[in-house]
Amino acid sequence: MAVSLAPVRTAADKRAFYAFAFRVYRNDPCWVPHLWPQRKEYLDGKAPFFKYGEGEFWLARRGNEIVGTIGTAVDHARNRHMGWRAGLFGFFEALPDDYEAASAMWDVACEQARRRGLNELQGPYNFSGSDDPGFLVQGFEYPPAILMGHTPPTYAEYAQQYGFQTLLEHVAYRFDLAQINYDIANAPQIVHAIAARARSRHGPDVVRPVRLNEWDQEVERLHGVYNRSLLVLPEFSPLDLVEFRALAGSLRPMIDPELALIAEVGGMTVGFALGLPNINEALIHAGGLRNPWGYARFMWARRRITSVSFKILAIDPDYWGYGLEAILFLEMGRAMIRRGYQWVDASLTSTNNPQTNKLATRLGAVVYRRHRQYRLLL
């Protein structure tokens, strides 16, 4: 039977949209379910994305059987900044060996983009560029860290078969703290030397923990640094303060102040680094927190987390070369060891980011997962 698509409208549709992924990944021990409240916020049209973009969600059926899910969208802010007329697809799930369903869903995504006067389709994004970007192409044997997606190998194969071309690649690095015998003094001496010069120039208190009791002010201080530091990347689209506040707010419950560090020079915020306890190690046991016992399993596993996900190190370009990144790395490492973590995930960074990739390699980290985003000219 032919595959047909219908928009998600009812509460039952929304539940079916969310539940379908559990069918796709039921035999994948590395998959970490998304949480229902987060998915529902998107399906209800209440996510921050809808303040600057528009989108819809679709269920693919073969007869009465659901065989796929997809979201289609346009990010007006991103298009204005990049000079693009691009539509997006995300929330993509399809069964193994069902290219017909994948093709039918992309047909609708292309149709939606053309209807809006757009000339290309990009994805996957869910729908923010920081939310599960890309299909996994390397590292299927590893569970994803927090804020990282996980997909079967067939999705990248389907995209290539449909005619998509690679737009971007992102990588995740792994560093085992046993490599330095759980002692930051054993980190590369060149990093220590750079940090020492930076401290002698800017003072011993150039880096401090985030002040959670000044949350709103701290978010405003970091907003500008975040945008300025990433504008050097050709694919980056700045976040407005509303979106940045929403992103920061979603992370606040997970923030450990010892792993959220801010660099200041002359009283100005010029950089920051953020590591998050990798709660995916606990969420992988919690079934998306759909049931009461999922919370109990999550709380039990949360006390046994072994890794930190190092999400970002951002330095204002006017302060590149000051050695602040070395101080931030060393202080972050000290905090991780002090907290008893065993290994570090650093994700995701674009392969177009020469500074981050060079520094990660210098520190002895290795790529353990790779994600690919695609574009299709219409």
- For position 73, what pLDDT does the model report? 97
How does pLDDT run across 140-167, given as a tens digit for each residue?
999 999 999 999 999 999 999 999 999 9
Q: CATH second-level architecture of 174-370?
A: 3-Layer(aba) Sandwich (3.40)
Token digits for 117?
């006067």
pLDDT at 68 over 90: yes
Q: Do domains 3-170 and 174-370 have the same CATH topology?
A: yes
Token pair recorded at residue 93: 């799930």
Q: What is the pLDDT of residue 148?
A: 93
Q: Average pLDDT of 322-338?
A: 95
Whether the CB-CB separation of 259 and 336 falls below 8 Å is answered with: yes
Q: Which two tokens stand for residue 167?
A: 């737009």
Convert the pLDDT of each residue in 160-190 to its tens digit. 999 999 999 999 999 999 999 999 999 999 9
Can you name the residues that pair with 375 across neighbouring β-strands? 122, 165
**Residue of 341, 343, 350 lying closest to 364 (CA atoms):** 343
What are the residues whose beta carbons fall under 8 Å from the beta carbon of 15, sequence distance 6 or more? none
pTM over 0.85: yes
What band does 342 get if pLDDT is binned at 50, 70 and 90? very high
Domain boundaries, the chain: 3-170, 174-370
Looking at 3.30.230.10, 3.30.420.10, 3.40.50.2300, 3.40.630.30, the CATH number of the domain 3-170 comes to 3.40.630.30
Q: Quick check: 130 pLDDT over 80?
A: no
Q: What is the reported pLDDT for 368?
A: 97
Structure confidence at residue 28 (pLDDT): 96
Q: What is the distance between the alpha carbons of residues 121 and 167, in angstroms, rounded to a whole number?
A: 11
Closest CA to 288 of 57, 20, 44, 91: 20
pLDDT the model gives residue 363: 83
- Give whichever of 136-140, 233-237, 245-249 has the largest mean pLDDT: 136-140
AA letter at 11: A
Which of 130-134, 159-163, 188-192, 215-219 is least confident? Answer: 130-134
Task: With a cut of 90, say whether residue 243 has pLDDT above it.
Answer: no
Contact (Cβ atoms closer than 8 angstroms) between residue 159 and residue 291: no
Q: What does the mean pLDDT of the chain come to?
A: 93
Nearest CA among 352, 370, 372 for reference residue 173: 370
* 54, 74 Cβ separation under 8 angstroms: yes
